[in-house]
A and B are shown apart, each in its own frame.
Chain A
Amino acid sequence: MSHLGPRVSALVDGQLGHEARDRALAHVAHCPTCREALDAERAVKALLSGTATPAPSAALLGALTQLGEPGDPVAPRARAMPLGPVVPTLPPPGRGPFARRRDSRRPSAGRATRATRTRVATAGALSVAALLLGTAFVAGGEAAEPGVPVVPPAAELSVEHAATTGGLPLGDPAFTAVTASFGGLTVPGASGR
């Protein structure tokens, strides 16, 4: 039988009749080229069928959301006077002629203080979190599991599985190893054709 070629796609899509499909699958069983093509086709179809509608990332959504929000209060600016002390450029809160209007429209020193407190609190919380995570990281190291080290006898277990289920794991590499180790299994001289 020649290579499947375009029939690979029909095979994956279930468009072949049973007879044609059986013949194709029998061919695929011992044709690595067609098996690769079949696996690739199935992988692509699986990807396509499992692909959801593209969605923006969380980071992008967050950035877009922030665009529509008011910014943080602006901290009062202090200007260094040449040869003199630093003098606030704004009168104390509530003292200026337009204090009431300014209070309602511009960030005040009180709000700036609250912002500072917020920053301090945030920094403190972050420090505590960092300390906690650092402790957790150290404490989370692997603990030695109890018991003696064990490597399960893969071949023996595969054969035992087959023995109790009626299966014959002919495609199992471990089983192949078993068949090689038990002299009575393989017919001497029997060709695989």
Chain B
Amino acid sequence: MRRLVATGGHLAILGPLALAGLVLLPGSAPTLLRELPAAAPGAGAPQADPSAVRLLEKASEAPRYVTYRGVQFVSAWTAQGSTGLVADVTHEPGQGTTVSTRGTPTAPAGTTYLKSDVAEPSLLSGSTTTLSMLGEHYDIGLGELSAVAGRTADVVVVTRPGARRPAAQFWIDRATGLMLRREVYDERGRVTRASAFVEVAVGAAAVTADKGRNYGQREYADRAHWSRPDAWPDSLDAATLTQLRHRGWNCPEWLDTSLQLVDARRGAGDYDDIVHLSYSDGLASVSVFEQRGRLESSHLVGYRLASVRGRDVYVRDGVPQRLVWSADGTVFTVVADASARTVGDVVAALPRPPGGRGTWHRLGRGLDRVASWFNPFG
């Protein structure tokens, strides 16, 4: 039986619930942090406060030795409204993490178990992660001391170089290093993603009590058999990507100026004709799936036709947001944990669909074609 993909490891529990980006993979973080570019003073170069970087490192290590149980919320806002979840989270180092979400009007209650074994970082070549990319694209600094759920927290502020407003802030428990709150902002400073502990209890006693309260012993033991499904196994290296590009696949190295290709894979089985390209700047995570063919839009469920940067694409709102269109014989599916502006940049960076549906689009397309009839070089 195929199993669910549930990834990220311990600290990513807050990341997943935040439904966006910063992936701090336990075990890999220290190495990765050493690869963080040094704070390079100069025009436009991101600045990294060593104290703030150490806090992020501490946060990435904390789930390895901190047992905790708590109630988290996650909220996300898009132009179409908000999405929210409340989850009970129980984490035991070396055992795993249980995430029980409470039911909402749009999603049923459920429980997910994440084993504690850390999968290999899925990002390209294992040497670049979203954390290192965070340092490549953003200033990392310290904010004022704060408190979350009654615990003292250091605040790490992430700002795009030259920007006046922060792009994200992280509240990190001073005592344990746990990430207690995470907020991501759009270009106007509005919160677009927020997740935080409303309650948190640290220590084995809290988790032991939670076992007895939530689950029978049998179910708890059964969770050990649940496997963590992996990402598509067929990773594509640079040479293969180059070959694909020569054969007409798009596979751009960059989407706009900040989202860099960090991982490329190919599906297996029924999906071996799909290429998955992952892009990130450290905060935003964008997947682009390329599939040969033309979009059969009449079979899309839950999508609305929308104009993004003047291009007609099918959009399914939510977190993450999904956009689908076809161009040049390829169907593009974008799955994005990113701001609306970034999503617009992504759409603009990829081949555009063949015109819109309206009269003006048709006239424009027709004028282009008429002009081509008289173009001696066309």
Contact = CB atoms under 8 A, between A and B. Distances in A.
Nearest to A140: B366
Interface stretch (B51-59, B97-105, B201-209): B97-105
Given A39-B82, A140-B364, A170 B12 contact: no
A91 B146 CA distance: 95
B146 A18 contact: yes
B285 A165 contact: yes
Contacts of B3: 182, 184-185
A25 B362 CA distance: 45
Given A143-B354, A167-B8, A167-B20, A182 B2 contact: yes
Given A30-B102, A165-B285, A170 B85 contact: yes
Nearest to B86: A29
Interface stretch (B35-43, B71-79, B132-140): B71-79
Given A22-B181, A166-B25, A193-B109, A171 B85 contact: yes
A104 to B, nearest CB: 46
A139 B28 CA distance: 57
Given A147-B294, A172-B318, A185-B226, A153 B366 contact: no
Interface string B99-116: 111111111111111000
A23 B293 CA distance: 47
A156 interface: yes
A147 B300 CA distance: 18
Interface of B: 1-9, 12, 15-17, 19-21, 23, 25, 71, 73-77, 81-88, 99-113, 122-123, 130, 146-150, 181, 194, 196-198, 214-216, 219, 223, 225-227, 229-232, 263, 265, 267, 270-271, 274, 276, 278, 280, 285, 287, 289, 291-296, 299-302, 316, 318-320, 322, 324, 326, 329-331, 333, 335, 337, 354-355, 359, 361-367, 369-370
A162 B335 CA distance: 9
Contacts of B4: 159, 178-179, 182, 184-185
A136 B366 contact: yes
Interface in A1-51: 18-19, 22-23, 25-26, 28-30, 32, 35, 38-39, 42
